[in-house]
C-alpha cells in the first residue's frame, strides 16, 4: 500500500523570513486559509517569539484553521516554547516545533556549546514542550553536516522524551540526493525507536536540489515533507510544494506515496502568494509558470493536436489551471461576473464584489471581450491587501517625440485632493515625479516591469514596480488598459506600503510592531550585520536579545 506523506507548509515561516516576502497579519491569515483549501497537513504559521507581530499572526491563524495542524517554531529555550504554546494552544491541532543545531560547526561557532550540552538541552526542552503540547516536532539544525552517530543518539533521545516528529533539515542546501537518501536510511536503520515517531525532511535549494533531495529522503523512509509555495525561503529558498507533489503524482510508479493535498488548488495558491507579495512568478517556473503548459513551437502544436500525451506529461486541469476563455463583455451583469469569479476560485464579499464589478465595467467599456486572465489580473490588483493611504483621482499626460513629457497627477488622501505637475523625458517618469512631489518622500525606483496580461492587441497592461527607502523594499502592482494608468496605480500601491511603514515610526502604537519587525530581522542577520544595524538604528530591541539572536535559518 502506498505510504502516506504529510505535507508541512512553511511558507509563512521560512518563506516569509526571506527578504522582500514579508506579509502583514491580514495577508498571512488569508494565505493560511488558502493553504487549508489546498489541504496541506501542517501549516507552520510563524515563529512566535520573533516579534509581537509574529505572535499575533500565529494566534490568529490558530483560531481560524479547522483541519490542518498549526505549528509555531521555537528555539530550544523555555521562554520560546512558552511563547509558541501561547500562540498555538487554541488551534484545533496545535504543534510546537523546537530546534537546536547538531553540527560541530554550529555548536562550536554559533551556540558555543558542547555536543553533550546540546544533547541535554534538546532532551529537556522536548520534555518541557511535550508537557504543554500533544504534538512536538524536533529539528536537528544543520543535520546534513552533523556526525551521523551523534545525530542518531539525539534523535533516539528526543523520541524517548516525547517528540512525535523528528525533522532532518539540510539547513544550508549542501547535500545531494544520494547522500541525503543514505543519511535518512542510516537514521531509519540505526535509531532503535524510530518507529515511534514520524521522520521529516526539510531541504534548502542552494544547489537547486531541494526537491530532488526531498524525494530521496521520502524514498528512504521519511514521511513528512517540509516545503513552501513557489519554493520561497531563506537564500535560494526551500523545496517547492507544487514541484514535489506533482513529481509524486506524475511519477507515482516510482514514488509510491499517497498524500492528502488537493493539487487542483496549486495554481490558485501560487497566484495568491504572488499577489500578496507582488513578486511575479517566473514564466519558466515549473508547474505554475506562464510557460509551463504553453506548447508554442509548430512541431509541438502538431503533436499536441494529434495526441496531447506527445508533449504534455500532466494536464493543466490537474493543477487547477483553466482554459483562457472569452467569457464576459460590457453587457454582462454583476450576477454573471460573480458566478465566473466563483468558478475561478474567488469568493467575494458584497463590498469587494461591487468594487471589482465597477472596475470590470470600466474595462469592459474600453475592451470588448474580457477573458479569465483579465478577470484574474483585475482581481489581483483590486484586492491587494496593502494599505489604502493615497488613491489616484485623475491624471493627464502630454507626450510626443517633439516635446518634453508633462504629467498632471491628482491623488486623494482622506478625501483631500492634492495635485502636482511635472516634466520629464518620458510620460511615466513625469507621472512618477508628480507622485513624489505630492507625497513629499523620496525613494529609489529599483525595478519597473510592464507586461501584457493576454496576447490580444487590446490586452490589459500590468505593471510591477519595486521601490526602496531606508525602511526597506516595497512592491506594487497595477492593471489597466492604459499603461500609464497601470504604472501610476502600481507606484501608488508601493508608495502606500512605504508610507505605512515610515509613518508608523512616529506613531507610538505602531512602534511596537516596528520594534517587532526589527527584532525579527535581527534574528536572521549575522552578528556583524547585527552590530552594524544597531549602530545605524540604535533603537528598539524586544524579546530577542543579542546573545540569542543566532541561528534561525533552520
Ligand atoms: Zn529552513
Give 161-226 as a DSSP string. TT-SEEEEEETTS---HHHHHHHHHHHHHH-TTGGGSEEEEEEB-TTS-HHHHHHHHHHTT--EEE
Give the span between the Cα atoms of 439 and 469, in whole angstroms: 14
Distance 320 CA to ligand 1 centre (A): 28
Distance 180 CA to ligand 1 centre (A): 16
C-alpha cell read off for 322? 483553466
User: Residue 547 has what DSSP assignment?
Assistant: G
Give the contacts of 97 (CB within 8 A, at least 6 positions apart): 44, 71, 72, 73, 74, 84, 136, 137, 138, 139, 167
Distance 368 CA to ligand 1 centre (A): 47
The helix (run of H) or strand (run of E) holding residue 391 is strand 391-398
Tell me what pLDDT residue 328 has. Answer: 79
Q: Which of 527, 522, 530, 474 is nearest to 498 (CA)?
A: 474
pTM, full prediction: 0.77
Tell me what pLDDT residue 528 has. Answer: 39
Distance of CA 217 to the CA centre of its chain: 24
Distance 16 CA to ligand 1 centre (A): 11
Distance 258 CA to ligand 1 centre (A): 24
Distance 82 CA to ligand 1 centre (A): 22
* CA 552 vs CA 8, 51, 88, 99: distances in Å: 18, 13, 19, 9
C-alpha cell read off for 254? 516510482
Give the span between the Cα atoms of 108 and 257, in whole angstroms: 39
Phi, psi of 161 (to 5 degrees): -85, 0
Distance 89 CA to ligand 1 centre (A): 23
Residue 448: strand pairing partners: 465
User: Residue 385 has what DSSP assignment?
Assistant: -
Distance 187 CA to ligand 1 centre (A): 20
| CB under 5 Å of ion ligand 1: residues | 14, 554
Distance 552 CA to ligand 1 centre (A): 8
Instruction: Encode pLDDT of 71-83 as tens digits.
Output: 999 999 999 999 9
CA dihedral 426, 427, 433, 434 (to 10 degrees): 150
Domain positions in the chain are 3-277, 298-382, 391-509
Tell me what pLDDT residue 546 has. Answer: 31
Report the SS3 class of residue 56: helix
Tell me what pLDDT residue 509 has. Answer: 41
Distance 235 CA to ligand 1 centre (A): 10
Distance 202 CA to ligand 1 centre (A): 7
Distance of CA 526 to the CA centre of its chain: 23
Distance 238 CA to ligand 1 centre (A): 7
Stretches in the chain below the pLDDT threshold 70: 295-302, 304-305, 324-327, 345, 382-386, 455, 505-554
Tell me what pLDDT residue 537 has. Answer: 33
CB atoms within 10 A of CB 394: 12
Question: Do 424 and 487 meet the contact criterion of CB atoms below 8 Å apart?
Answer: no
Give the contacts of 84 (CB within 8 A, at least 6 positions apart): 48, 49, 58, 72, 73, 74, 96, 97, 98, 129
Distance of CA 306 to the CA centre of its chain: 39
Distance 370 CA to ligand 1 centre (A): 41
Question: CA-based Rg of the chain, rounded to a whole angstrom?
Answer: 25
The superfamily CATH assigns to domain 391-509 is Alpha-isopropylmalate synthase LeuA, regulatory domain (3.30.160.270)
Domain 3-277 has CATH 3.20.20.70: yes
Give the span between the Cα atoms of 107 and 100, in whole angstroms: 9
Phi, psi of 466 (to 5 degrees): -130, 125
Distance 129 CA to ligand 1 centre (A): 21
Amino acid at each position: 500500500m502506498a505510504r502516506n506523506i504529510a505535507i508541512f507548509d512553511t511558507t509563512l515561516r521560512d518563506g516569509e523570513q526571506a527578504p522582500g516576502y514579508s506579509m502583514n497579519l491580514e495577508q498571512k491569515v488569508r494565505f493560511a486559509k488558502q493553504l487549508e483549501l489546498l489541504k496541506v497537513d501542517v501549516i507552520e504559521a510563524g515563529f512566535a517569539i520573533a516579534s509581537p507581530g509574529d505572535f499575533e499572526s500565529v494566534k490568529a491563524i490558530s483560531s481560524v484553521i479547522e483541519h490542518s495542524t498549526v505549528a509555531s517554531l521555537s528555539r530550544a529555550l523555555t521562554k520560546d516554547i512558552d511563547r509558541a504554546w501561547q500562540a498555538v494552544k487554541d488551534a484545533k491541532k496545535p504543534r510546537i516545533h523546537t530546534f537546536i543545531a547538531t553540527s560541530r560547526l554550529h555548536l562550536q561557532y554559533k551556540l558555543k556549546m558542547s555536543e553533550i550540552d546540546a544533547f541535554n538541552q534538546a532532551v529537556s526542552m522536548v520534555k518541557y514542550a511535550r508537557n504543554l503540547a500533544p504534538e512536538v516536532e524536533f529539528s536537528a539544525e544543520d543535520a546534513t553536516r552533523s556526525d551521523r552517530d551523534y545525530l542518531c543518539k539525539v534523535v533516539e533521545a528526543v523520541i524517548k522524551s516525547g517528540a512525535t516528529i523528528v525533522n532532518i533539515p539540510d539547513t544550508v542546501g549542501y547535500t545531494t540526493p544520494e547522500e541525503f537518501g543514505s543519511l535518512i536510511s542510516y537514521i531509519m536503520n540505526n535509531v532503535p525507536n524510530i518507529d515511534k515517531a514520524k521522520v521529516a525532511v526539510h531541504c534548502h535549494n542552494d544547489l537547486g536540489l531541494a526537491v530532488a533531495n526531498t524525494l530521496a529522503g521520502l524514498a528512504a523512509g521519511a514521511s513528512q515533507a517540509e516545503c513552501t509555495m513557489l519554493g520561497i525561503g531563506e537564500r535560494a529558498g526551500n523545496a517547492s510544494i507544487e514541484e514535489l507533489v506533482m513529481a509524486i503524482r506524475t511519477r507515482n510508479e516510482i514514488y509510491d506515496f499517497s498524500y492528502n493535498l488537493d493539487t487542483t488548488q496549486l495554481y490558485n495558491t501560487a497566484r495568491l502568494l504572488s499577489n500578496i507579495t507582488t513578486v511575479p512568478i517566473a514564466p519558466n517556473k515549473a508547474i505554475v509558470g506562464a510557460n509551463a503548459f504553453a506548447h508554442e513551437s509548430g512541431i509541438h502544436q502538431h503533436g499536441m493536436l494529434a495526441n496531447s500525451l506527445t508533449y504534455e506529461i500532466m494536464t493543466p486541469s490537474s493543477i487547477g489551471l483553466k482554459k483562457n476563455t472569452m467569457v464576459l463583455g460590457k453587457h454582462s451583469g454583476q450576477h454573471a461576473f460573480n458566478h465566473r469569479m466563483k468558478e475561478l476560485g474567488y469568493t467575494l464579499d458584497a463590498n469587494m464584489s461591487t468594487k471589482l464589478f465597477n472596475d470590470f465595467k470600466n474595462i469592459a467599456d474600453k475592451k470588448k471581450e474580457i477573458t479569465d486572465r483579465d478577470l484574474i489580473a483585475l482581481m489581483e490588483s483590486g484586492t491587494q491587501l496593502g494599505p489604502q493611504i493615497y488613491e489616484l483621482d485623475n491624471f493627464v499626460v502630454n507626450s510626443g517625440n517633439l516635446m518634453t513629457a508633462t504629467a498632471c497627477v491628482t491623488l486623494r488622501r482622506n478625501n483631500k485632493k492634492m495635485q502636482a505637475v511635472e516634466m520629464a523625458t518620458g510620460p511615466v517618469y513625469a507621472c512618477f515625479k508628480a507622485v513624489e512631489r505630492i507625497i513629499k518622500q523620496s525613494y529609489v525606483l529599483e525595478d519597473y516591469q510592464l507586461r501584457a496580461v493576454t496576447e490580444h492587441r487590446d490586452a490589459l497592461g500590468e505593471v510591477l514596480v519595486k521601490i526602496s527607502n531606508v525602511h526597506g523594499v516595497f512592491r506594487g502592482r497595477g492593471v489597466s488598459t492604459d499603461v500609464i494608468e497601470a504604472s501610476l496605480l502600481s507606484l501608488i500601491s508601493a508608495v502606500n506600503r512605504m508610507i505605512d511603514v515610515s509613518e508608523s515610526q512616529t506613531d507610538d502604537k505602531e512602534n511596537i510592531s516596528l520594534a517587532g519587525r526589527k527584532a525579527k530581522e535581527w534574528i536572521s542577520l549575522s552578528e556583524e550585520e547585527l552590530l552594524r544595524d544597531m549602530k545605524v538604528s540604535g533603537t528598539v530591541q524586544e524579546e530577542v536579545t543579542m546573545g540569542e539572536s543566532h541561528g534561525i535559518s533552520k
